[in-house]
Chain A
Amino acid sequence: MDNNLRVQHGITRKEPFYIQVNGEQIAAYPGETVAAALLAAGWHMFRHTALSGEPRGMFCGMGLCFDCLITLNGHPNVRACVTFAQPGDIIERQI
């Protein structure tokens, strides 16, 4: 598992679990937001916009800008930056 983007020094995480992102399995640790798990797996792009189709990712990181929207377990327009990942979550990149 490529954990290069997760800080390791001085911190101990619990056992990771898996979430599914566009059909691909990625690891997430208990306490991580969906955005953090996606970024740690190297996914900067969370969705394409409805009008021009341009790519978007996490911008404000505190739940205000709504740019990091994903579809989570069938529910659209979920903010990845303020939503904690749960084992078995199914995430789809939103159009």
Chain B
Amino acid sequence: MADSTPSPLTIVGAGPAGIMAAYSAAKAGVDVTIIDDNPLPGGQYYRQSPSEFAFTNPLDGKSGRDDSMDVLEKLNHPKIRLINTTLVWGVFDDRSLALADNDQSMLLLSDKIILATGAYDRPLAFPGWTLPGISGAGATLRLLKTQWVLPGKRILLAGLGPLQLALADALLKAGAKVVCVAEAANPFNHVKDVPKFWGHWDRLSEAWTYTTALCNHHVPLLFNHAIIEASGHDQVESAKIARLDAQGLPIPGTERQFEVDAICLGYGLLPSFQLAAALGCELRFDELLSWYVPIHNDHMETSRPGIFVAGDVTDIAGSKVALLEGQIAGLTAAYQLEYINKSELERQLAPAFAELRRLNRLASALQSIYRFRSGLNGLAKEDTLLCRCEEITYSQAKQALENGATDLHQLKLRSRAGMGYCQGRFCSVLLAPLVAQITGKPVSSIRPFTVRPPIQPIPLKVLATGVSQIINQ
């Protein structure tokens, strides 16, 4: 057995939160190990194109963000060890993280842990939503900005929030035809939130640029509209949208149809809380998100001492908030490891807390305007799949609930929903409202599926090689 000295600080996820956490702790003198499942660091916000591609403007290959070179450069700190193409698939003996790359499995005993595991596209179940050609808005942005491939030639965007505008702008710039942007919210109903935008001129100007681009390309931007149906044979061929009422339910007679070869669904993001849950960190139901996030205090520490969260895994508020939360978590871990004292910690955190308060005012306005309305859970028909992996329909799930299942766990045992490859990441958020409806309980009382290892499927051959401890030096 190799050296079993624990890693003082292990960070999971090399996006903005993970990078800033690593850098802040490393600068204080901590030896940091950062694990990321992608071949290149940066996460989704600072996504990098493969090194084989060359760009006229090098920034294009590094997400196009103005600060991406600065942020990615921070990983070159000598006290940071980045382990990429490696995922964390479980937790054993309290603080041992089980890692796997393409060939072998390893254990990494860790003292402090920062989870910066990010988020993923929220699914929306409507007739035809599993057709090829329909993918997440984040998925499409990633395809376009790292692989430089368009998802189709006639694209419809349907979703909630400003990411849609950014995606539409990127697609138009790349030469695609965007047939329509269906925005489920109506920002004009939120006049009371307008003062919260004061001072955020960069964001307002960005929104203005995107909206102008849509106008110039004659792309209809329809507020209070959602996708309600997609159809096609081997791939999506048409999309139907409709206007929504106050609850978010489609209004009959307002349907419009578009011929498309791709649909991007941008109904917000869901936090990747699976590892936090596996570590025993408490989750809370967020009313605006209508789903669970790990709880944390001002210093980003979870309900478990020495385990932190930072970025979209807990506050879906964008890259700037993620950078600050990473910094707060990294410095606090350094303090707990006694690399900096209390007054030094407070001195360094004061500006971060102030900026975070400023950004959170805007984030709370956006979260309120673009909150997920319950009517959007009502688009599935009897034969619409709720669980893509195990192919469980709305009516099969309903049947299992009428036969006595009272929570997600029992529903899984009775119907197989949630037993597939995605480990319930996508179906749980679609099944929970149905459980609430049939059992008469509030959706906030429906707990997510219990997280069990492997948190992501890994080939048995990787386990069969045995588990070797990572040597810490």
Which B residues are CB-close (under 8 A) to A44? 132-133, 152, 234-236, 261-262
Contact: B55 with A31, CB < 8 Å? no
- Chain B residues near A (Cβ < 8 Å): 37-39, 44, 49-57, 60, 120-121, 130-136, 138-140, 142-144, 147-153, 174-175, 234-236, 261-262, 388-391, 420-422, 425-426, 456-457
- Chain A residues near B (Cβ < 8 Å): 4-7, 9-14, 29-33, 35-36, 39-40, 44-46, 49, 51-52, 54-67, 69, 81-82, 84
Query: Of B54, B130, B143, which contacts A11 at CB under 8 A?
Result: B54
A12–B391 CA distance with the chains assembled, in angstroms: 41
A45–B39 CA distance with the chains assembled, in angstroms: 26
Query: Of A7, A62, A66, which contacts B148 at CB under 8 A?
Result: A7
Contact flag A57-B143 (CB < 8 Å), given A7-B149, A11-B148, A52-B391: no
**Which DSSP category, helix, strand, loop or mixed, fits chain A's interface?**
loop
Contact flag A61-B148 (CB < 8 Å), given A44-B132, A67-B388: no
A40–B420 CA distance with the chains assembled, in angstroms: 29
Q: Which of B37, B38, B152, B234 has the most CB of A within 10 A?
A: B234
A30–B49 CA distance with the chains assembled, in angstroms: 11
Chain B, residue nearest A59 (CB): B135
Contact: B142 with A61, CB < 8 Å? yes
A57-B132, A65-B426 known; 10 other A-B pairs, CB under 8 Å?
A7-B144, A7-B150, A9-B174, A10-B56, A10-B57, A44-B236, A44-B262, A56-B388, A57-B133, A66-B389
Which A residues are CB-close (under 8 A) to B60? 10-11
A81–B389 CA distance with the chains assembled, in angstroms: 17
Contact flag A7-B139 (CB < 8 Å), given A55-B131, A66-B420: no
Which B residues are CB-close (under 8 A) to A81? 139
Contact: A31 with B149, CB < 8 Å? no
Contact: A45 with B391, CB < 8 Å? no
Contact: A11 with B420, CB < 8 Å? no
Query: Of B38, B120, B142, B235, which contacts A55 at CB under 8 A?
Result: B235
Which A residues are CB-close (under 8 A) to B131? 55, 57
**Which DSSP category, helix, strand, loop or mixed, fits chain B's interface?**
loop
Contact: A45 with B132, CB < 8 Å? yes
Query: Of B37, B53, B134, which contacts A63 at CB under 8 A?
Result: B37
Contact flag A56-B132 (CB < 8 Å), given A65-B425, A66-B421: yes
Query: Of B138, B153, B426, B456, which contacts A61 at CB under 8 A?
Result: B138
Contact: B53 with A66, CB < 8 Å? no
Contact: A62 with B153, CB < 8 Å? no
Chain A, residue nearest B422 (CB): A65
Contact flag A59-B234 (CB < 8 Å), given A7-B174, A11-B148, A36-B147: no
Which A residues are CB-close (under 8 A) to B234? 44-45, 55
Query: Of B138, B149, B174, B261, which contacts A62 at CB under 8 A?
Result: B138
Which A residues are CB-close (under 8 A) to B457? 66
Which B residues are CB-close (under 8 A) to A59? 130, 134-136, 139, 388
A40–B132 CA distance with the chains assembled, in angstroms: 14
Query: Of B134, B151, B153, B422, which contacts A64 at CB under 8 A?
Result: B422
Contact: A64 with B57, CB < 8 Å? no
Contact flag A49-B391 (CB < 8 Å), given A56-B130, A57-B132: yes
Which B residues are CB-close (under 8 A) to A55? 131-132, 234-235
Contact: B149 with A39, CB < 8 Å? yes
Query: Of B37, B50, B148, which contacts A84 at CB under 8 A?
Result: B50
Contact: B421 with A45, CB < 8 Å? no
